[in-house]
Amino acid sequence: MQNNQPFDTRSTALASKNALDTLVLQYMRRRVLLTLNHFKPCTSLQRPIIYNFRERQERTHRIVLYQCQDLLQLSSLAFVGFISRKKDSLEASILDEIHTIDKTLVVEMADNPGILAYSSLELRTGIWYNLVLMDTHEARNQVLASETHAYSAYQLSPRYYKWIRIHTGFMQHGIADNAMNIVRTRHYTFQQTSSKPLIRELSYCSPTIHRGCVHHAVQKCPR
């Protein structure tokens, strides 16, 4: 029984964070849908279309629309939720690099037809939620293969983030579907003594998390 306690504790803690993350990601999904319905951006030839909103307590919320018609018409969507906390003390050069990489990725994703929308919300100081909506998860593979993403993931991330939590999932009924089903979560903890993060992973065998239906793994990043 004692050997199972670390597994149960880690899994339960990560699953509880998933529940909060899902609520925030659902809110971001609704904001994307409201933006589509209110501003009618599908009539514009401009791509991408970028909106910047102010949330409560003057928090920044950016919505980038790439494929408006597909967002409204596809019967099912894939998504990635990227949640992060930056380090407390950061050099100005790292902040500048992160800002440059962010702008570059926003432009590069316009060339990926499977990327439909990208939303970024600062929930609290230093804690950001990012939501990428896609036609399928194949679109994500193209992003992961880019040099810009590789540099961000392996060079900048260890210097910038305290931790990262990445959810992958799907919405069975498209953009109007409030049920955002997470199928896998990876939590990266960046350590002071190593450039390689500690990785925890949860995989769910169904859209609903059931006891005994969670796979847990702990590993070091291979790169």
**Within a domain: 217:** no
**Within a domain: 200:** no
**Within a domain: 6:** yes
What domain range is 118 assigned to? Answer: 2-185
In CATH, what number is assigned to the domain containing residue 26?
Answer: 3.30.70.100
**Within a domain: 178:** yes
**Within a domain: 190:** no
Count of domains forming the chain: 1
**Within a domain: 195:** no
- pLDDT the model gives residue 9: 57
For residue range 146-176, list pLDDT tens digits in order.
999 999 998 999 999 999 999 999 999 999 9
**Within a domain: 149:** yes
pTM of the model: 0.85
CB atoms inside a 10 Å sphere around CB 169: 22
Which position has the higher pLDDT, 206 or 125?
125
**Within a domain: 61:** yes
Contact assessment for residue 164 and residue 156, using Cβ atoms and an 8 Å cutoff = no
